[in-house]
Amino acid sequence: MNARDLKTVEISRRDNLFIRFLYNTAPGRIALRLFTARAVSKAVGVFMDSRASRLMIRWFIRSNRIDMSEYVSKKYSSFNDFFTRKTKEGRRTFSKVLSDLPAPCDGKLTAYNIAANSAFQIKGSVYTLNSLLKDKALADEFADGVCLIFRLTPDDYHRYAFIDDGEVVSRKRIKGILHTVRPIACRYCNVYAQNTREYVVMNTKRFGKAVQMEVGALFVGRISNRPLSDSFKRGEEKGMFEFGGSTIVMLFQKDAVTIDDAIYENTRKNRETVVKMGCKIGEKSLRAKRWFK
């Protein structure tokens, strides 16, 4: 499937009253310090693991219009058990053309070119890769590259996978706070450089050295990555988010990948491209050198 065939959504300026209160008012921003605290996220997580939280499941399915026919049928022990549900076999397939760049997850995708100084701009907020990665030497390696942001919302599948065969170079976890990843927060602060996040640096067979980063969000304190071995396979599950929407950020080096023009065009038009795990979003660049033996 090509990104040109996929749906787009406007990057909405409409948020519920609670979120608008938190980010658009002075009293709300004071309260925001409490709601973004890790202790609050931990308490919400405890409830979401409890049997009582199952009462939320039917309401959540209806309000987010989730098509449950895509998922394995089972009796859920908690809301988090439901939230991290698995799809039926064959519902998230990866392109058989190995030079195709697949999406690592479901989500709403925007694409950005990284400048020579390792900076890029999202919704008026300027980011540097050093602020994102907390590693200047690594950030410099991705100057003039590509940054992809996959924003997961409650209706998405909250498991994610590796995009290619490859080897693990390093892994890092960065403690932070937990803002919502909705566009309203991106207009207020540098969310992706402030939120709790963890990433893996990897050498991939077809797309070179890349970074895959998971970013926590408001009330989503747990990024549940599987234990890493030295190598991984295309389509192999990397981990999952528990409760709520969150974000995956991917970084590629200069001339490693060519992203579908429609995705860039959608981003310029203030639209997100709706993608599913495994669908084609680009391909190996014709200018890419041989990265991996």
Catalytic choice (53, 78, 118, 246): 246
Q: How many CB atoms lie within 10 A of CB 277?
A: 24
Q: How many residues does the chain have?
A: 293
Q: How far apart, in whole angstroms, are the C-alpha atoms of residue 106 and residue 82?
A: 17
The one catalytic residue among 41, 53, 81, 106: 106
Q: Say how far apart CA 16 and CA 33 lie, in whole Å.
A: 19
Radius of gyration of the chain (CA): 18
Tokens for 169, please give them: 């170079």
Residue 107: which H helix or E strand, with range?
Answer: strand 107-113
Indicate the pairing of strand 125-128 with strand 100-102: unpaired
Q: Residue 189, Cβ neighbours under 10 Å: how many? A: 16
SS3 9: strand
Is 246 in the active site? yes
On the 0-12 / 13-18 / 19+ scale of CB atoms within 10 A, 158 is buried
165 is annotated as an active-site residue: no
CB 14 within 8 A of CB 182: no
As annotated, the active-site residues are 106, 246
